[in-house]
Every structure is written in structure tokens, then in C-alpha cells.
Structure 1
């Protein structure tokens, strides 16, 4: 079984997924801040991106534009997409029936 991901790691993966095929660290920070309403430190992003890359959930590529500084762009791997889908399904299963009041009913996990 793969190592569990933390909440912030999930958020980073989802931010990259939302942005499309490749994402730059500053764009990831902006996406997270817009979506969560919380301030995100650039250092925490870099540490998390490296950790996710080490876990095989991201790939990265350094691109040097014609003018400007080189940038490292991150992409999700198929393993990351699988992990996100599994987490989504588990989360939705846990919420099933909670808002309708059926969570404690037979067949909803409270046997």
C-alpha cells in the first residue's frame, strides 16, 4: 500500500491538476491561495513538490525562456492521478448520507 498523503500534499496535487498539464511553483501558490483562502509559503511549496517528486507522483522539467530566469515546471504522473481518484472516492464514501441524515441508517456504515 502506498504511503499516505497529507492534506497539503493533496492540495498541491489538486492545484496542479486544476492548472493543466504543467505548473510552475508560483502558479501553484496562487491557485492554492485562491482556492483555500489561506496564505501559502513558497518554501513549503518547494519542500512539498520535491517530496511528491521523490514519491513518484510528480515529474519536473527545467525550462529556460528566451528572456528571464529558468523555471521548473511540474506535471502529475499517472500514479498521482490514481491516488487522487482513490482519495476522492474514499472521501465521497465517507460523506455519503451525512447531509441527508442517512449516515446512521442501516447500510450506511453504522451496523
Structure 2
């Protein structure tokens, strides 16, 4: 059985790369996570996660066009690989299996 080690933040980043599709670069990823997940993201944590997931084979990156506004530095765009999609699917399957296994009584709260 293949393993797909992925933390919660990595999963959020990977899902956001999918949401942004062709526009998935650092700044856009950070903004989308902050807006959609309502959580603050440091540039350093995001860059570390992107590099880590690229090393794991979940993401690929490419350089965009040079940009004078960025001091001539190109944006780096990210896309999900087939392996990254498998990892996301595995995580989704595990979460759904666990959610479905919770007995209804576990959420039958009595408030006073």
C-alpha cells in the first residue's frame, strides 16, 4: 500500500493550487488560503510547504515571464501532479470513511 504523508496545511495548499489552476503562484495561493480558509499564512511557511510538496512529487513548478514590477524576477507557478492528486484522493477517502463511521449518538449533544 502506498503512503501519502501530508499534513493539514499541505492539504490546504495543494487544494488551493487546484482551485487556482493556471494562476497558482505564491502570492495568489497565500491570498486564496487567507480568504477561503480564513487563516493567516506566512510567506515562509507557504514557501517551505511548496518546496516540500514539490520534493514529495505532489507538485510541479515552472517559471512565468519576467516581470519588471518584481525586479525582473519571474513568478513561479505550481500545478498538481498525478501523484499529488492520488495523495489528495487518499486523504479525502480516509476523512470520509472516518466521518461516516461516527455514530449519530456521538453528536447528540444536550445543551442546558
Q: CA RMSD in A?
A: 1.9
Instruction: Give the corresponding residue for 1:53.
Output: 54
Q: Which runs of 4+ in 1 moved over 6 A?
A: none
What is the number of residues matched between the two proteins? 102
Q: 2 CA distance for matches of 1:62 and 1:88?
A: 30
Gapped runs of 5+ residues in structure 2? 107-112
Q: 1 CA distance for matches of 2:23 and 2:87?
A: 18
Q: CA deviation at 1:97?
A: 5.0
Which structure would you say has the larger RCO, counting Cα contacts within 8 Å and 6 or more residues apart? Answer: 2
Q: CA deviation at 1:71?
A: 0.5
Q: Which residues of 2 match residues 3-14 of structure 1 at below 5 A? A: 3-14=4-15
Higher percent of residues as helix: 2
TM-score, normalisation: structure 1:
0.81
TM-score, normalisation: structure 2:
0.81
Q: 1 CA distance for matches of 2:105 and 2:22?
A: 39
